[in-house]
Structure 1
Amino acid sequence: LLASHYIPYNFNQKYSQKKGEFIIWLSDIHFDNGKGKHAFPAQDNDQQKCLSSRVVELADKYSNGNKCAGLAISGDLTWQSQVEGFELASKFIKDVSSSLSLTPDDIIICPGNHDVGLVSKEQYFEIMGKPTTDTPWATLAENYHKGSKENYIKFYKDVFQRKPEEDLSQGRKFLLGGHKVVEVAALNSCVLQQVKDSFLGMGFIGEKQLSNVAESMGWMNKSGEYI
C-alpha cells in the first residue's frame, strides 16, 4: 500500500494534467440568502435547472469525449458576502467538482467587491440600515469589509483546505490534452486600500501584488526580472 500526503497550495507547483482541453469560466453568479439575486433555483424543477446542473450539462455538450479540465470563477460569487451565499457557493463548487471529476488543484477563484464587502455609503445603508451611532463612515466601511472578508476566508478554507493569500490571489497550472500549457493567475483588486471614505468602483492592483504573483507562478527569475 502506497500513500501520499496531499498538500493544498494557493499557487500550484505542478501542472494538473488533463485529457480535456477546455476550462469553464463563470462570473457574477451572485449566490444570496434567498432574496432572489441568484438567477437560478436552488434545485432542479420543471421550469428551470439549478446552476450546477446547467454547468455540467454545458460541459458535457462541449466535451468532445473528454471532461472539462478546470473551473475558474471570478467575482462576484455572492450578492453581499452573506454566510448563506458562501455556503451555497461552496455546495455549488463541490457539486460541479464531483460531476466533472475536478480536484481543488483544478479550481481557481477571484472574489469581487461584493464578496469582500467594498460598498458605497448608499449600498451600505441599504444593506445594514441607517446607523444609530455617530460612528465615522470610514470605520463602518472598514468593519463591514473585515467581516465580509472573514466570511470569504471561511468559504475559501472549506473549498481549498487552507487559508488564502493575504491579498486573495491564487494561481493554477494546467497541461491540457497532454500538450497545451495554460497558466492562470487570479489577481485581486478588492484590497483594503480601496476603502477611502467610499468605494469608487475602480480596482487597484499594486506592484507588490504583481511581484508576489509573478514569483509564486515562476514568472520571475532569481534576480527579480520577469520572464
Structure 2
Amino acid sequence: MNQIKGIRILAVDDEPNILQFLELGLINEGFEVQTAPDGMTAINLAKSFKPHVAILDVMMPGMDGFEACKLLKKTENVAVIMLTARDEVDDRVKGLLLGADDYMAKPFSFEELLARIHARVRNQFPLLSGQAVFGPISIDDRRKEISLSGRVLELSPTEYELLKYMVINHGIVLSKALILDKVWGYDFGGDENIVEVYIRSLREKLGDKEHQLIRTLRGAGYRIDLP
C-alpha cells in the first residue's frame, strides 16, 4: 500500500494492550502517532498534535468515544474511526450521527484498519501527497499550480487558495463568511464582498461564462460542480 508521509494519527483506548498494539503497528507503517487512555486526554492532546485521523474506542471511563468524537469534530479537521467491542447497529448509527467517518468492531484486522485509514486520508486530506485530481481540475500544492483540462491557470496566491479550497469541497455550498474564514483568515477585517470580486476573476480565468462550474446560490453562497 502506498504510504503518504506526515500523516498524524491519534489512537484512543483505555486498554493498554490495544493502545500499545496500535502505536507500534502504526509507527512501523510510518505514521506519526500519539496515544491517549481516555477521551478528555485525547481532546487536550488534539489541540497541539492536530491529528489527521483519530481512532476512538467507544467504551471508555469518563468521557466515552461518542462524546470525544462530537468534541473533536467541533474543534478539529480530523477523520474519526470508531472502535467498539460490540458490533451493534445502534452504536454504529449513533457514532455516524455524531460525525464519525468510519466504524470497526473489535477484534479487527490491522490490515483492514490500515486500508480504512488510507481511505479516510485520501477522502479528507487529498493534498497530503502534494497532488490531487478532481475531474478536469488538478492541483499541485508543491508547485502551487492548478490546471484545468491540462492548462495551467495564471492565479494570484489568494486566487490559488480560494480555488483550491472550493475544489476540495466541491459539491458543498460554501458561504461568504466560511470562505473568508478559511481563505483570508478569521481576523480578516475587510468587506465580505471581496469574495464576489475573486469569484468573478476565477470565473474569467476558468472560462466559466455561464457559471456552470462555480455556481451562485442566492442567500447561501457558492458551490463548485465538477463533471
With the shorter chain as reference, the TM-score category is: under 0.3
TM-score, with length taken from structure 1: 0.25
Hey, which of these two has a bigger chunk of strand by percent?
2
**Which structure would you say has the larger RCO, counting Cα contacts within 8 Å and 6 or more residues apart?**
1
Structure-2-length-normalised TM-score: 0.25
Which of the two has greater helix per residue?
2
Bigger Cα Rg: 2
